Amino acid sequence: MADVSSLPIPAKEDLDTNLDDVLQQDLVTVEATLLDDVMSDEQYLIQSRRAFIGGAAGTATLGTVAMCACGCQGRQKFFANMMNNGMSDYEALPQVQQFKSQLFDHIAVGDDIMEIGIGSGPNLKYYADKSIGKLMALEPNREFDEYIIQNVAKSNLQTKVDIVPGVAESIPKADNSVDVVVGTMVMCSVSSVKQSLAEVYRVLKPGGRYIYTEHIAAPQTAKALACAQQLADPLQQALAEGCHLRRDPEHEIIQTFGQENVNSERFVLSSDDILPPHFLLSPHLIGVATKT
């Protein structure tokens, strides 16, 4: 221990001056804090963000635990129901109907179509006026079957729909056998984007088209949205059977089909139209890629 007996004893005036300094510093600190409280939106944002992160983390944990407890079939049933009923407002958005109509115009009379990850069949109505050839509905989740059957009945589609159990990573079709592959919001969910696209390319005939719409990672310019996607991603994957909010398959599509054969567009759906939780899906990549 240090020997304090030899330390100089400060004079009373020095002590008063030091005390004044300390008090002055404290006043400056208090003043700065008060100024911050009044002035700083940033402080407010940080507090809100902390509350949001806490809430989101809690909800994510509870949701994940609940979904794990549900069991595989329960989760698949929940997801199929959520896609069939929970996405109807998204499907009804004029912007969505417009870009889907334009993309589905790349289907010609008599085309044989393979829709990968068809879900409940929200695209069936876009085939109805096209006199298509065969329609094969590739879907790994059997809980969607009853919704597909119901939605075929509602769609005025004249063509028989074959529900094909399977995954995009291994499409049960011969090489060069399909005119059009359709995939809407599917690359978010597959185990391997690269392998799925290789399979899409393999089964397409030369001149065949891959029509896609994907929700993707928010652009760097939309920092708040990117942050919200990051926070919600674990819960989304748990609730939506492995659907990732932060993927962007454009690079892999270009690598598979070649830059000159890919016609893509990226945009963020108007925030006036799109309500939570769909705003997390608002950044979009849509397009048509052609096999040469």
Ligand X SMILES: C[S@@+](CC[C@H](N)C(=O)[O-])C[C@H]1O[C@@H](n2cnc3c(N)ncnc32)[C@H](O)[C@@H]1O
- Using an 8 Å Cβ cutoff, are 164 and 138 in contact? yes
Choose the stretch contacting ligand X; rule: CB under 6 A; options: 124-132, 188-196, 227-235, 249-257. 188-196
The interface region with ligand X, picked from 54-62, 180-188, 246-254, 271-279 by CB under 6 A, is: 180-188
Q: What is the nearest approach in angstroms of ligand X to the Cβ of residue 36?
A: 44
Interface pick for ligand X out of 152, 157, 161, 186 (rule CB under 6 A): 186
The CA distance from 291 to 258, in Å, is 9
Strands 113-116 and 135-139: parallel
Which of 147, 257 has the CB closer to ligand X?
Answer: 147
Of 24, 150, 191, 271, the one binding ligand X by CB under 6 A: 191
Identified binder of ligand X from the candidate list 112, 145, 169, 273, rule CB under 6 A: 169
Contact with ligand X (CB under 6 A) among 111, 139, 199, 248? 139
Minimum distance from CB of 279 to ligand X (Å)?
Answer: 16
Q: Does 118 engage in binding with ligand X (CB under 6 A)? A: yes
Segment interacting with ligand X, rule: CB under 6 A, options 6-14, 43-51, 164-172, 248-256: 164-172
Q: How far is CA 71 from the centre of its chain?
A: 23
Q: Does 243 help bind ligand X (rule: CB under 6 A)?
A: yes
The DSSP code for 11 is P
Nearest residue (CB) to ligand X, 140 versus 219: 140
Q: Is 184 in the site for ligand X (CB under 6 A)?
A: yes
Interface with ligand X includes 203 (CB under 6 A)?
no
| Residue among 289, 270, 237 nearest 79 (CA) | 237
| Distances from the Cα of 232 to the Cα of 66, 97, 243, 271, 283, angstroms | 16, 26, 11, 18, 15
Burial class (CB in 10 A: 0-12, 13-18, 19+), 143: buried
The secondary element (H helix, E strand) that includes residue 180 is strand 178-184
283 touching ligand X, by CB under 6 A:
no
Please name the amino acid found at residue 240: A
For residue 206, give the DSSP letter: E
Question: Cis (ω within 30 of 0) for the bond into 122?
Answer: no
* Spatial separation of the C-alpha atoms in residues 192 and 279, rounded to whole Å: 25
Positive or negative: CA dihedral 102, 108, 114, 120: positive
Q: How far is the CB of 117 from ligand X (least distance, A)?
A: 3
# residues contacting ligand X (CB under 6 A): 24
Which residues does residue 116 pair with via DSSP β-bridges, in sequence order? 138
Least CB distance from residue 187 to ligand X, whole Å?
9
81 touching ligand X, by CB under 6 A: no
Instruction: Tell me the torsion sign for CA atoms 141, 147, 148, 149.
Output: positive
Residue 274 engages ligand X in binding (rule: CB under 6 A): no
Of 132, 181, 185, 218, which one interacts with ligand X (CB under 6 A)?
185
- The binding site for ligand X (CB under 6 A) comprises 83, 87, 116-119, 122, 138-141, 144, 167-169, 184-186, 188-191, 241, 243
